[in-house]
Structure 1
Amino acid sequence: MTNQRNDGTNNRWRLAIIIVNYRTADLTVDCLASLAAPATVPDGTCVIVVDGGSGDGSAQRIASAIDENGWTNMACLALQENGGFAYGNNRGIEYAAERFGDPDYVLLLNPDTVARPMSIIMLVGFMDNEPRAGIAGSSLEHPDGRKQACAFRFPSISNEFEGEAKLGPITRLLDRWRVVPEMPQKPSRIDWVSGACMIMRSDLLHDVGLLDDRFFLYFEETDFCLRAARAGWSCWHVPQSRVVHLVGQATGVTRYTRPARRPPYWFQSRNLYFLKNHGLLYASLANLAWLCGHLVFRLRVVIERRQSGLPPHLLLDFLRHVGLGSRRGLSP
Structure 2
Amino acid sequence: MNEPTVLTVILNYRTPDLTIRACEAAMREMQDLPGEVIVVDNDSGDGSVERLKQAAAAHGWDAGGRFRIVESGRNGGFGAGMNFGMRAGLSDGSAPDFYYLLNSDAWPDPGCIRGLRDFLVATPRAGFAASAVRGDDNAPHLTAFRFPSAAGEFEAAARTGPISRLLRNRIIAPPLPRTRTRVDWASGASLMVRREVIETTGGFDETFFLYFEETDLCRRAAAAGWETWYLPEVGVVHIGSASTGMRKWKRTPQYWFDSRLHYSLKNHGRAYTLWTTLALIAGTLVWRLRQLIRHKPSSDPDGFLTDLIAHSLRRTLARTPASPTPAAAFPEDSR
- Tell me the TM-score normalised to structure 2 length: 0.91
- Distance in 2 between the 1:66 and 1:53 partners? 19
Moved more, 90-99 or 238-247: 90-99
Which structure has more relative contact order (CA 8 Å, sep 6+)? It is: 2
Residue number among 295, 299, 311 corresponding to 2:289 in the alignment: 299
- Distance in 1 between the 2:240 and 2:131 partners? 15
Give 1:246-325 correspondences, 5 Å limit.
246-253=239-246, 255=247, 259-323=249-313, 325=316
- Pair 1:59-2:54 in alignment: no
- One-letter code of the match for 1:17? T
- Distance in 2 between the 1:262 and 1:99 partners? 42
Residue 24 (structure 1) aligns with: 15
- Pair 1:153-2:143 in alignment: no
Give 1:177-256 correspondences, 5 Å limit.
177-253=170-246, 255=247
Moved more, 316-325 or 119-128: 316-325
- One-letter code of the match for 2:310? R
Residue 68 (structure 2) aligns with: 75
Following superposition, the deviation at residue 157 of structure 1 comes to: 0.6
Residue 131 (structure 1) aligns with: 124
Residue 3 (structure 1) aligns with: none
- Pair 1:14-2:9 in alignment: no
- Distance in 1 between the 2:102 and 2:250 partners? 23
Residues 155, 107 of structure 1: alpha-carbon distance in 2 compared, 3 angstrom cutoff: same
- Please state whether the residue corresponding to 2:206 is helix, strand or coil: coil
- Please state whether the residue corresponding to 2:284 is helix, strand or coil: helix
Residue number among 11, 36, 40 corresponding to 2:27 in the alignment: 36
- Pair 1:106-2:96 in alignment: no
- Distance in 2 between the 1:86 and 1:144 partners? 28
- Please state whether the residue corresponding to 1:175 is helix, strand or coil: coil
- Please state whether the residue corresponding to 1:148 is helix, strand or coil: coil
- Residue ranges of structure 1 left out of the alignment (5+ in a row): 1-5
CA contact (8 A) 1:41 1:118 kept: no
- Please state whether the residue corresponding to 1:181 is helix, strand or coil: coil
- Distance in 1 between the 2:190 and 2:125 partners? 19
How far does the alpha carbon of each residue in 1:109-163 deviate from its partner, in whole angstroms, 9 at most, with x for none?
1101011111111111111111110011110001232211000000001001110
**4+ runs of 1 displaced by more than 3 Å?**
39-42, 97-100, 323-332
- Tell me the TM-score normalised to structure 1 length: 0.91
Q: CA RMSD in A?
A: 1.8
Residues 57, 329 of structure 1: alpha-carbon distance in 2 compared, 3 angstrom cutoff: farther
CA contact (8 A) 1:27 1:112 kept: yes
Following superposition, the deviation at residue 321 of structure 1 comes to: 2.1
Following superposition, the deviation at residue 34 of structure 1 comes to: 1.0
Residue number among 114, 125, 132 corresponding to 1:121 in the alignment: 114
Residue number among 87, 94, 97 corresponding to 1:94 in the alignment: 87
- One-letter code of the match for 1:24? T
Residues 294, 200 of structure 1: alpha-carbon distance in 2 compared, 3 angstrom cutoff: same
CA contact (8 A) 1:20 1:88 kept: yes
- Distance in 1 between the 2:199 and 2:178 partners? 31
Identical columns (%) = 39
- Distance in 2 between the 1:207 and 1:40 partners? 26
Following superposition, the deviation at residue 32 of structure 1 comes to: 0.4
Following superposition, the deviation at residue 185 of structure 1 comes to: 1.7
Residues 134, 316 of structure 1: alpha-carbon distance in 2 compared, 3 angstrom cutoff: same
CA contact (8 A) 1:40 1:117 kept: no
- Distance in 2 between the 1:328 and 1:24 partners? 33
Following superposition, the deviation at residue 71 of structure 1 comes to: 1.3
